[in-house]
Structure 1
Amino acid sequence: MASRTSSAAQRPTAASSIPRPPLNVHPAATISETAYFQGTHPISVGAGTVIHPRAKLLSFKGPVSIGEGCIIGEKSVIGGPVASNSGLSTPTTPSATATAAPLDFAAGLDPSSSPSPGKTVTIIENSVSIGPLATISAGSHIHSAAAIESSAFLGKDVKVGRHAKVCTSCSIPEGDTIEDWTVIWGDGKAGGGLGNKLKRRKRAAGKGDDDRNLHGMNGGLVETGRLVALNRERESLTRLIGIGAGKRR
């Protein structure tokens, strides 16, 4: 990896002027060598998280915090959207990483690097799956065990609750909130809110929620099964991508 870093440094490219963010990547994270890390604010990645090839993590607008056990899909954008003049052309991999401190989601980042007032913090909590080509705009907060499917778009400051799901190609407008255990689906973009083209429904949350009937119990079991499948997928991806952050030092 040292030779790769030195040879890349010798090549004069337009991307050489793009700022490299401070990185706090857990050694147990698995990150493709073709993932992008660019920006000026800190980016942290928790244990067991897998980041696919050509995913872009951008911290130009503020810090980015990704929790444990997440999957960040290929060509997805976190902390975007990507500006047309961003100059993205060369991947920036975390060649020198530190063991990540436990993430404090209430504060927005790990406790040792709390953002300054006015910064736009992007938070992805634990066990979140982000599909290929999805865009998570700066300021979004995705709570634990949520799923954002392929080509979905989350506008600035969108809040996605626990165990919620945004289906393929849905576009969530800036500042909207998706409650816990809610599914969003429908025909593309939402004009002036989710009531026009997109639809939402509340999923049965299962035991411990207000809905305690048999259907609700089954809903909870289905979600438990999905999270088990997510963990198996992460394990397979770790072997497939083959290079964890801790092995890159």
Structure 2
Amino acid sequence: MNYDSLRIAKGAVVCAEADLRGDVTVGASTIIHPKVRIFAYAGPIVIGDGCLIEEQTVIINRGDMSDEDLAKFMKETETRPPQTRGGRNAPLRSLQVQTNYVCGKQQGETLHIGSYNVFEVGTHVESLKIGSNNVFESKCKLGQQVTVGDGCVVSVFCVLDKEDHLDNMTVVYGPGNQRRKQQDKPMPQTQQLEFLAKVLPNFHNLKKSNVSPSPEPIGKK
């Protein structure tokens, strides 16, 4: 695995205070707020175009790491900030040694997130397959065995931690994770993305873009 591979498409806005470690790819026009943590721990993470990822969101490709080791890892990353100089990510390898977790020789499965998804404050995501045009509301959690189609909404505080699949246009809500179908997919947050792309650079340092955007945004039809 490449522990120091970070690819940010031109047009993306990634605040320097966001903690991105490992093999992470960020699509064009995606906005990543400060205090976001994205950890490609057991395999790459690919984020599509036009996503909005708000403060305190955690996206982690955890592989077969146990819950105990994950807790240790998250605690370690809270106290050890990422390296910001020399163009390198924070040293995942040393963190893996401290959590008694060692990656195999082969690169793990990719965690893939489509385009125009919204991750509100405090979302926790381990799901390896997420489609496009979804909304994940504050403090919701998606476990590793959950897959998500297109146009879904997971409401505030909902926790999906068992093997599950959300079909297109599914809304999960309430303390019992009730479900219903919606008629229209959530609208892309185009105006908000444009506003944040103008405002955030005035108040935050940014991680530099280093790749050209795709000719056509991923998932856009």
Q: What band does the TM-score fall into relative to the shorter chain?
A: 0.7 to 0.9
SS in 1 for 2:162: coil
Partner in structure 1 of residue 8 of structure 2: 25
Instruction: State the partner residue of 1:72.
Output: 53
- Indicate how the Cα distance of structure 1 residues 57 and 246 shifts in structure 2: closer, same or farther if over 3 A, else same: same
8 A Cα contact 1:27 1:245, kept in partner: no
Written as runs of structure 1 = structure 2, the 5 A alignment for 1:73-152 is 73-79=54-60, 83-86=70-73, 87-88=76-77, 89-92=80-83, 96=87, 119-137=108-126, 139-152=127-140
Query: What's the % identity of the aligned pairs?
Result: 24
Contact 1:26 1:245 in 2 (8 A): no
Tell me the distance in 2 between the aligned counterparts of 1:26 and 1:142: 20
Unaligned runs of 5+ in 2: 63-68, 89-104, 211-221
5+ residue gaps, structure 1:
1-18, 98-115, 188-196, 205-218
2:119 is the alignment partner of 1:170: no
Find the partner of 1:159 among 125, 131, 147: 147
Aligned alpha-carbon RMSD (Å) = 2.6
Query: For the structure 1 residues 172 and 94, does the alpha-carbon distance in structure 2 shift closer, same or farther, using more than 3 Å as the test?
Result: farther
Question: What corresponds to 1:37 in structure 2?
Answer: 20
Higher share in strand: 2
| Alignment match, 2:181 | 202
Q: Which amino acid aligns with 2:199?
A: L
TM-score by length of 2: 0.73
Indicate how the Cα distance of structure 1 residues 55 and 31 shifts in structure 2: closer, same or farther if over 3 A, else same: same
**Pair 93,185 (structure 1): closer, same or farther in 2 beyond 3 Å:** farther
SS of match in other structure, 2:71 = coil
Structure 2 counterpart of 1:129, one-letter code:
V
Counterpart residue type for residue 123 of structure 2:
A
Q: TM-score, normalised by structure 1?
A: 0.65
Please say if residues 134 and 150 of structure 2, whose CA atoms lie closer than 8 Å, have aligned partners that are also in contact. yes
C-alpha distance 156-93 of structure 1, shift in aligned 2 (>3 A): farther
